[in-house]
Amino acid sequence: MSTPAVSRQFARAALRTTTRNAFATSARQAFRQGGGRRFYSAEQPPKSSSSSTLLYVAGAAVVGAGGFYLYSQGGASSASAKVFTPTKEDYQHVYNEIASRLDEKEDYDDGSYGPVLVRLAWHASGTYDKETGTGGSNGATMRFAPEGDHGANAGLKHARDFLEPVKAKFPWITYSDLWILGGVTAIQEMQGPTIPYRPGRQDREASFCTPDGRLPDGSKAADHLRHIFYRMGFNDQEIVALSGAHALGRCHTDRSGFEGPWTFSPTVLTNDYYSLLLSEKWSWRKWNGPKQLQDGSKSLMMLPADYALVQDKAFRQWVEKYAKDNELFFNDFSKVIVKLFELGVPFKEGTERWTFKPLNA
C-alpha cells in the first residue's frame, strides 16, 4: 500500500475518535518531517457505477426541480422514447462516482481533488448579487469566457475537467447541479459536516457570465470582505464561517500568485484554520510574490484577508468561538454553505433538500 494511502487511512481513523487534537499534532509533525506533504482525507474507495443502462438522447432538456431527461431503449433505432425523472438514488449514484474518484491521482496537489471541487462550487456560487439577482450557481457560466478566465477562477479548469467524465456518465444532470454536488461530495468525503443538497439548477449560455471582481480578493482587508459578502446577503458571522473552507487546499503561484497551505491537513476539514490563526506567530513572508504571512516554521501561510479576521473585532469573536468548538463550526458552516450554494437558484416549489451517505462513513 502506498504511503499516501496509509496516511489517508490514519487520518480517517484518527478523526473517527475524540482525539482530534492528537491528530492535529501528528499531522503537524508529519508535515514538517515529510518535506511538506500532508495527511489525506480518504482512501480510494471501490468504484461505484450507476444502475442505469439508459441510452440518452442528445439535446434533451433537463427541466424542473429534479429535472427530466428523454431517453430511448433498444438502441438508436428504437422509437420508444421515454421520460427519465432522476430520484434521490440517482443523485446518490453521481455522488458515489465523484467520491470514488477523488483520490485517483496521488500526484495531484495533496493527493485529492476534493479541495479544488469545493473551490469550484464556491466560486460558481459566490458571484451572486442580491440587488440584481444575477450570478450564483444557477447557470455554470464559468464554462465560458470571460468568466472562466477571471483571475479568481485560475486553476479551476482542473476541477471542471475532473467532472467531465462524470457528466458523460450521467448526462441528465446539469453542469450547475453537478458542480455543486461535487462540492457537497468533497466536503463530506473530507470528514466535513453533512451538507444538504437540493437539485434544480439550469445551465445558461455565455451571455449570462458575470463581470470580474465579484469574488473575494485574498490580498484585501476587512472592508473588502464585507463589501463582497454583504452584496450576497451574508453577515459577519457567516463571513467567518465560510472562511473556514480555507482549512482545505493550498495556494499556487501559477494560479493566485500566493503559495502554500493554510493548515497541516489540507484534505481534512477541521476548525484548525481558526485555531492556527490565533495560536501561530504570523509574520510577513519575504519573497518576490504578493504579500502573504507565514507561521514560525515557514510551513503554512495566511492571506491578508485571512489575517483580517483576527484584526477586526467583530470578525475575531467568531474566530475565537470556532477555534474552541469544532461542532459549532461544523453546524454553522453547513448552514452557510447551503445558503451560498443556493443563492439565486429558482427552485421549483416543494423541492426537497436531500442528504447523501458518504462513502467514507
- Catalytic positions are 123, 262
Q: How far is residue 217's CA from residue 126's CA, in Å, rounded to a whole number?
A: 12
Residue 43's alpha-carbon distances to 64, 121, 215, 325, in angstroms, are: 36, 22, 32, 27
Block residue for cell numbers 500566493: 258
Q: In what side-by-side order are the strands of the sheet with 283-284?
A: 283-284, 293-294, 301-302
- The three three-digit cell numbers of residue 213, written as one number: 471582481
- The three three-digit cell numbers of residue 161, written as one number: 475537467
Block residue for cell numbers 462513513: 361
Contact 166, 103 (CB under 8 A): no
Radius of gyration of the chain (CA): 20
| Amino acid in the structure at residue 139 | G
Q: How far is residue 259's CA from residue 148's CA, in Å, rounded to a whole number?
A: 21
Contact 295, 276 (CB under 8 A): yes
Count other Cβ atoms within 10 Å, centred on residue 72: 17
Residue 204's SS3 state is coil
